């Protein structure tokens, strides 16, 4: 199955982290997370190819390292980029695609291969939500242009309901690595507690970002201190 990776311009990425990272550091973080994802996809046995949809010039060199294709973004916006990729892959005769975000540095090759393996026959939609059950952190679709894409607030429910309305076979899978997307300072804290060697973690450690995070509040519950 082909994987679609929409890539926002690095300087526009992760603005919710502006309180702990400078604009230059956020751009470096976006680059590191993309590097981690592309390296992960190169290890997946069920990935047939990768296409990055972007207007970020720096993606070309990173994509070339694994033989990924770069599709110049025609219209800004995540849903627009995915729609463009779906049309592109359909024109190439592909019968399915898997959309992945760049900000899941704890995702594993086993998780990605599992989503593809369990996807099954068309018409079908397979979803992995974020940890809160609101966002869409992985979305497999057969055929690629099966439905309109609705990335944004509460996109998981929007995608699930749209697929059901079309009579597609819909399933939701659990994948802890894919579910953790790095959007907030607390996400950074959780990422740095995991013993995983990634370019993302290396960058955050090199910049000593953990020292910039607010300490967790100490709460007393029934006489017990909860940190």
pTM of this structure: 0.92
Q: Which CATH superfamily is domain 2-226 in?
A: Spore Coat Polysaccharide Biosynthesis Protein SpsA; Chain A (3.90.550.10)
User: What confidence score (pLDDT) does residue 217 get?
Assistant: 58
One pLDDT digit (tens) per residue for the chain, 227 residues: 999 999 999 999 999 999 999 999 999 999 999 999 999 999 999 999 999 999 999 999 999 999 999 999 999 999 999 999 999 999 999 999 999 999 999 999 999 999 999 999 999 999 999 999 999 999 999 999 999 999 988 999 999 999 999 999 999 999 999 999 999 999 999 999 888 889 999 999 999 999 988 776 555 455 554 54
Strands 136-142 and 124-129: antiparallel
Q: In what order do the strands lie in the sheet with 124-129?
A: 69-72, 49-54, 2-7, 97-99, 136-142, 124-129, 169-172
Angle of CA points 164, 168, 169, to nearest 5°: 100
Among 5, 3, 32, 4, CA closest to 17: 32
User: What confidence score (pLDDT) does residue 219 get?
Assistant: 53
Q: How many CB atoms lie within 10 A of CB 118?
A: 12
User: What confidence score (pLDDT) does residue 196 get?
Assistant: 84
Which SS3 state, helix, strand or coil, does residue 56 take? coil
User: What confidence score (pLDDT) does residue 227 get?
Assistant: 47
For the record, the structure tokens of 128 come out as: 């992995």
Measured between alpha carbons, how far is residue 79 from residues 16, 118, 121, 143, 204 in Å? 20, 24, 24, 16, 29
Among 181, 186, 184, CA closest to 215: 186
Parse the chain into domains and list their residue ranges: 2-226
Which SS3 state, helix, strand or coil, does residue 117 take? helix
* Distance of alpha carbon 41 from alpha carbon 45, whole angstroms: 9
Q: Determine the straight-line distance between the first and last CA of the chain, rounded to whole angstroms.
A: 43
The distance from CA 29 to its chain's CA centroid, rounded to whole angstroms, is: 14
């Amino acid at each position: 199955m082909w994987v679609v990776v929409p890539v926002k311009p690095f300087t526009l990425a992760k603005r919710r982290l502006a309180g702990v990272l400078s604009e230059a550091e956020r751009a470096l973080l976006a680059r590191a997370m993309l590097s981690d994802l592309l390296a992960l996809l190169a290890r997946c046995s069920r990935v047939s190819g990768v296409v990055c949809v972007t207007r970020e010039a720096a993606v070309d060199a990173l994509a070339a390292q694994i033989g990924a294709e770069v599709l110049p973004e025609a219209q800004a916006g995540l849903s627009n980029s995915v729609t463009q990729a779906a049309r592109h892959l359909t024109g190439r005769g592909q019968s399915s695609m898997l959309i992945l975000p760049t900000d899941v540095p704890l995702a594993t090759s086993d998780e990605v291969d599992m989503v593809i393996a369990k996807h099954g026959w068309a018409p079908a939609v397979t979803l992995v939500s974020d940890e809160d059950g609101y966002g869409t952190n992985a979305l497999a679709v057969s055929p690629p242009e099966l439905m309109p894409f609705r990335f944004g607030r509460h996109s998981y429910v929007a995608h699930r309901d749209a697929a059901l309305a079309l009579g597609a076979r819909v399933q939701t899978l659990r994948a802890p690595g894919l579910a953790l997307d790095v959007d907030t300072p607390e996400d950074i804290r959780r990422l740095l507690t995991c013993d995983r060697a990634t370019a993302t973690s290396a960058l955050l450690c090199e910049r000593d970002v953990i020292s910039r995070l607010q300490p967790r509040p100490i709460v007393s519950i029934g006489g017990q201190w909860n940190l």
